[in-house]
Structure 1
Amino acid sequence: MNEQQTDTIRLLIADDHAMILEMLQLYLNGVSDITVETVPDLPSAVRELDKSGPFDLVLVDLDMPGMDGLSGLSKALEHNGGKPVGILTSSPSPRVVEEVMALGGAGIVLKTASLKNLANEIRFMAGGGRYLPIELVEKRQSTSDESGTGLSKREFGVLELLAEGMPNRDIGAALTLAEPTVKMHVKSICKKLGVSNRTQAVIAARDRKLI
């Protein structure tokens, strides 16, 4: 009895979509070695972690109330005593994937994926593994020279900040680059994407699913 209890994974899922929570809970209730609690937002998750945590794994929706981008991931990690916290989302950009991993996230579970592998993904992350779906791994590996663009990793970083509407000065500060260097990268990005200005570069990159 004690052995069974020890082997059971305690999972907390935070998502503001009731249908997602109900679907995940219904599926996971049929998995003998996983027990699941659900909450609708990050503040509720933090309260649950402080009251009943740490959990063996926490999954937090990237876009739910209280997340404030990926700062919510850091907050969840802090309140879960350093135990694994992963992200639930639908279609993360390469930059989001990089940031999740850089912040120490346990991985990313896609809401668009089949449920059939979910239990194994949960076991893997709860056991200390870092999980990324194969499509995100492939996208991550190709960001440095995305098919047909030849963008460098640095240019790709500049492009993603362009997409956020940042001026060159702020991009330089974020990436520790001199403003003239940022201008040079923007010019190179436009040339490689076959466009004439930064606005067109962002549009072209989104059309090609680069960001």
Structure 2
Amino acid sequence: MDRGQAPAKARLLLADDHEMLLEMFALYLRKNHAFTVETARTFDEAAQKLQTEDPFDVTLLDWNMPGMHGVTGLKRALQLTGGRPVGIITGEALPKVIDETVAAGAAGIVLKSSGVRSLVNALNLILSGERYLPFDLVMRRADPNEESNDTLTKREMLILTEIAKGKRNKEICSDLQLALPTVKMYVSSLCRKLGAKNRLHATVIARDLGLM
């Protein structure tokens, strides 16, 4: 490389059907870091780009976007990239999901809740040839007694569905004829079970897990 010439930017394909999150990540990477970013909102769109555009240095795929079908989409993407790294981006990952992705050859798992700085760190590690797993996922994978995300009660699922509609606690109280402390209790419980930081995060995790 000539002295003074800027290093070539790494080409990233980022695929996720959560439009706001997708654009936020893409904008940050384009503005602040050494990446050129292409985006897709379905697995079929991502697969098309992998087949028709110049090779991507790294590809990140949403675990639960349309057409992905979990590990099936991951394996297909690995075939299309010709050995270049493919990672998973998700709201939450159960131990089974972690095992399946690692066994299939994923370059890493990135949690959407980790934020853009952690995303950059993950991408740099993957580009260096390493596999990236967040520390809390490593610990969860090692603990077979970790509480499963499929333990939501019917009432918690009902509350979660109302939250996903954008309803506030008082609206949920009125619609379901429940007391406000009861609704708050259910919200706290479902967030704890899903490992969510807040109500919005809970809906993202639930969607990625196929719970709603």
> In the alignment, which residue of structure 1 is the partner of 2:128?
127
> In the alignment, which residue of structure 2 is the partner of 1:69?
70
CA distance in 2: counterparts of 1:119 and 1:85, whole angstroms: 15
Letter in 2 for 1:94: P
Q: Give 1:16-55 correspondences, 5 Å limit.
A: 16-55=17-56
> In the alignment, which residue of structure 2 is the partner of 1:142?
143
Letter in 1 for 2:18: H
> In the alignment, which residue of structure 2 is the partner of 1:100?
101
Letter in 1 for 2:35: I
CA distance in 2: counterparts of 1:98 and 1:53, whole angstroms: 31
Deviation at 1:68, TM superposition (A): 1.5
CA distance in 1: counterparts of 2:120 and 2:33, whole angstroms: 10
Give the TM-score normalised by the residue count of structure 2: 0.65
CA distance in 1: counterparts of 2:106 and 2:6, whole angstroms: 27
Give the TM-score normalised by the residue count of structure 1: 0.65
Letter in 2 for 1:28: L
Over the aligned positions, Cα root-mean-square deviation in angstroms equals: 2.8
Q: 1:56 to 1:142 in 2, by over 3 A?
A: same
> In the alignment, which residue of structure 2 is the partner of 1:109?
110
> In the alignment, which residue of structure 2 is the partner of 1:90?
91
Confirm or deny: 8 A CA contact 1:31 1:119 kept in the other structure: no
| Unaligned 5+ runs, structure 2 | 152-192, 196-208
CA distance in 2: counterparts of 1:127 and 1:57, whole angstroms: 11
Letter in 1 for 2:97: V
CA distance in 2: counterparts of 1:117 and 1:64, whole angstroms: 21
CA distance in 2: counterparts of 1:111 and 1:118, whole angstroms: 8
Deviation at 1:62, TM superposition (A): 0.5
Deviation at 1:53, TM superposition (A): 3.7
Q: 1:45 to 1:208 in 2, by over 3 A?
A: closer
Letter in 1 for 2:96: R
Query: What is the DSSP-based 3-state SS (H/G/I as helix, E as strand, rest coil) of the residue aligned with 1:128?
Result: coil
**Count of aligned pairs between the two proteins:** 154
CA distance in 1: counterparts of 2:7 and 2:53, whole angstroms: 16
> In the alignment, which residue of structure 2 is the partner of 1:58?
59
| Unaligned 5+ runs, structure 1 | 150-158, 164-206
Q: Which structure 1 residue ranges, 4+ long, deviate > 3 Å from structure 2?
A: 1-6
Query: What is the DSSP-based 3-state SS (H/G/I as helix, E as strand, rest coil) of the residue aligned with 2:113?
Result: coil
Deviation at 1:124, TM superposition (A): 0.9
CA distance in 2: counterparts of 1:47 and 1:20, whole angstroms: 21
CA distance in 2: counterparts of 1:127 and 1:208, whole angstroms: 32
Deviation at 1:50, TM superposition (A): 0.8
Query: What is the DSSP-based 3-state SS (H/G/I as helix, E as strand, rest coil) of the residue aligned with 1:29?
Result: helix
CA distance in 1: counterparts of 2:96 and 2:44, whole angstroms: 25
Deviation at 1:208, TM superposition (A): 10
Which stretch of structure 1 is more off in the superposition, 119-128 or 94-103?
119-128
